[in-house]
Structure formats: structure tokens, C-alpha cells
Amino acid sequence: MSDTLHRNTKKSLISLFFQSGYSAVLGLIASIIITALEAKSVFGIYATTLATIGIFNYLSDIGLAGALIQKKEIAKDDLKTVFTIQQTLIVILVTIGFVGTSFVESYYKLPPDAHLLYWSVLIGFFISSLKTIPSVLLERAVDFPKLVRVQIIENTLFYFLVSVFIIAGMGLKSFAIALLARSIIGTILVYRYSPWTITVGISLSSLRELLSFGVPFQLNSLLALVKDEFVTLFLGRMLGLAALGEIMWAKKWAEAPIRIIMDNVSKVLFPIFSRLQDDKERLKKTIVMTIWAQTLILGPVLLVLAFAMPYIIHIIPKYSKWESAIPMFQLFCISAFLSTLSTPFMNIFNALKKPKIPLAFMLYWTVMTWVLTPIAIRMMGAIGFVYVQVFLSSTCFVVMAVARKYLQIDLLKNPFRTTR
């Protein structure tokens, strides 16, 4: 690893963790306000809306952004091609989204003002999509501090506006206004930190090369989409928005530590792994240190959360209504911890140009999610879905076994122990 890359890695990790900690505090305050003052169904509507946009996010990319990050060298034609294809798809999807508003409203029996939130997310989705190329350029350079500045400003604005408007009694309109403001300001700032002249056009040779990695990479994302976002829509319809609100509340709080720690590490490690794909020894050392560090940090944090949450909900005013979701929260803590043991290896497989391996695992997880979830829900209710998540997360041990075949890593040896 070059000295420049090493320095950028350290700066990026520090910046991301600072941003996550800062945003976590803001998110905690905002979530307490939202879940205390609003009904469970409001949280369910918000989760359903975001799941819909998750589907649009997948359909708008076809893996080309990931291909740009993974590629050793990129040309202007690559950037132009990715931008043109992505924006074309997004315009089509946003148009479909607006046309399908009445169907979404009737399918989920949404309240009258829910369509404003839905529309604002569609518009915000289009505006935020303009950030893709400047963001990719920063990620390739492992220059995350600039991205972090944008995220800090975005999150501050979003959580502040949501909290103020919720307190003012504006309900779902609070999310709508905050999302639009966040999208506009974030896009302006990204172009300031990473200037890029918007260029339209498609290079067929560039497209073919990008798709060779992008298609398998995006198929993996498609399965993740079906496993997560479509299941969220299914749960909202099958269990009702209030029950979905409980599931999402439990999932959000249980996964908060891994969103802060593991997601940030993954953001930095993927471009680094891609640069070091020919240096197997450094790859092995990095992955082992990552697994050990995550386990030593996240294990105790999730354990404390699991035991403390039943007491926390009685301390916060109007929060006791979430007591029925505590068993789901504790099970999600187990699932979250197990998932931290497999996620880093997915980055390794992709960086080594072996996207078919995570694709196979994701196929298994997706099929089993859809097979087991309806059965478990009929037998146990909403908590049945959580039991399925715990079961599927236990596959992490199989993932580690497969990784050892390619890198011959020793996960039991302490990488932080110094030898004399």
C-alpha cells in the first residue's frame, strides 16, 4: 500500500467514524422525537416509502457505479457512459413512480398526506442521483473526508428539519420537506468538493467493459433488493403498517452500531481491496484485522444494547409503546452481530473479481427469506420474520469457510498481538 493511499485510508476512516458518531447522536434525538410523538403506522409508512426508493435505486444503476470504483483506471468515456445510462433510467423510473401514485395509495390504504412524502422522495431521488459521478471520483481516491463533510451537513439539515416540523405537528410533511432540502443541498456541495462537468453520451466499448463486472455485481444487488426492500413491502401488506413500524423500529436500533462501524469500514475497504487485488498477503492481513476489530467492538456494544433497551424505553417519555417490540429488537441484535462476520468477505470477493461467490450466497439468502418468512409469520406472527433473519445470518460461518479457500487466512490468530 502506497504512503498516499495509507494516509488517505486513515483520514477516511477517522472522518467516517466522526460523521457516523455525529449523525448517530442526531438520529437518536430525531428518532426519539418521531417515535414518541407519532403513531407506529407513521414509522411504517416512512419505511415503506424508503423501501420503494430502494427498489428504484437498484433499477437506476445496473452495477456501473460499482464497476467504476473497482476498475483500476477510468477514462472520460467511462464517466460519460455511466452518467447517461443512469440518468435515462432514473427519468423513466421517476415518471413511472408518479404515474403509479394512486395504486400505491390504494394498495397500502395510505392517509391523504402520504402522497406528498412519496412525491418528495421521488424528486429527491432524481436530484441525489446527480451526485453519483463526483462521489465515485472521491471514493476512488479514498478521499472520504470531503464526502463526510457533505454527509454531516445533509444529516444536520435533515434531522433538524424533521424534528422541528414533527414537534410543530406537521406529521408526514416533515419527512417530505426535510428529504427535499437534504437532496438539494447535498448535490450542490458534492459538486463543489468534486467538480465534474456533466457530459452526455454513450461509448459502446466502455459500456461493454463496465458491464462485464457491473452485471454480476448488480445481480447481487438485485437479490439483496428482493431480500430486503421487497420483503419490507410484503410485510407492510401482510402484517399492517403498525406491525411493520415495530419491526423497523427494532431493526433500526439493533443495526445502528453496525451502520456506524461496519458500513464505514466497508466503504473504505472496497476501493482499497480493489487497489490491492494483486497483493494477497496485504489482503489477508487487512481482512483478519477487520474481523477482529469489528468483533471486539460490536460484540460488547450489541450485548449492552440488548440488555439495556428494556430499561431505556421506560426512561424516555411516551416511549413505552415500543415495549412489545423488545423481543424482536434483541433477536435483531444477534442477527446484526452474525452479519458482521460475513460482510467484509463480500467486499473481498468483489475486489478479487469473483462476484459470483457473493451472488451465490445472496441467491440462497433471498430464496430462503421468501420461503421461510410467510411460514414463520403464519406460525409466530411478526417475530417469525426476525427468527428467519437470525437463522440466515448464521450462514456467516459458511462464508468464512469459503473465504479461507482463496486466501488461507487464520481467523483464530490475534493479528494485534506483537511477537518478540
Which bin fits 39, alpha (ψ -120 to 50), beta or left (φ > 0)? beta
Pair 47, 248: CB distance under 8 Å: yes
Give the pLDDT confidence of 388-415 residue by residue, as tens digits.
999 999 998 898 888 888 777 766 666 6
- In angstroms, what CA-CA distances link 338 with 300, 345, 348, 393? 13, 13, 18, 5
Q: Collect all residues with Cβ–Cβ distance below 8 Å to 197 and sequence separation of at least 6.
A: none
Of residues 365 and 48, the one with the higher pLDDT is 365
Q: Roughly how many angstroms between the first and final C-alpha of the chain, as a whole number?
A: 25
Backbone angles phi, psi at 159, to 5 degrees: -65, -35
- Assessment of whether the complete model's pTM goes beyond 0.75: no
Which region among 56-60, 101-105, 255-259, 350-354 has the lowest average model confidence (pLDDT)?
56-60
Pair 155, 26: CB distance under 8 Å: yes
Count of C-beta atoms within a 10 Å radius of residue 138: 22
Q: pLDDT at residue 62 above 60?
A: no
Band the pLDDT of 372: cuts 50, 70, 90. Answer: very high
d(C-alpha 312, C-alpha 305), whole Å:
9
Mean pLDDT of 162-173: 84
Pair 67, 77: CB distance under 8 Å: no
| Sign of the CA dihedral with 100 first, then 104, 105, and 110 last | negative
Q: Collect all residues with Cβ–Cβ distance below 8 Å to 409 and sequence separation of at least 6.
A: 284, 287, 288, 403
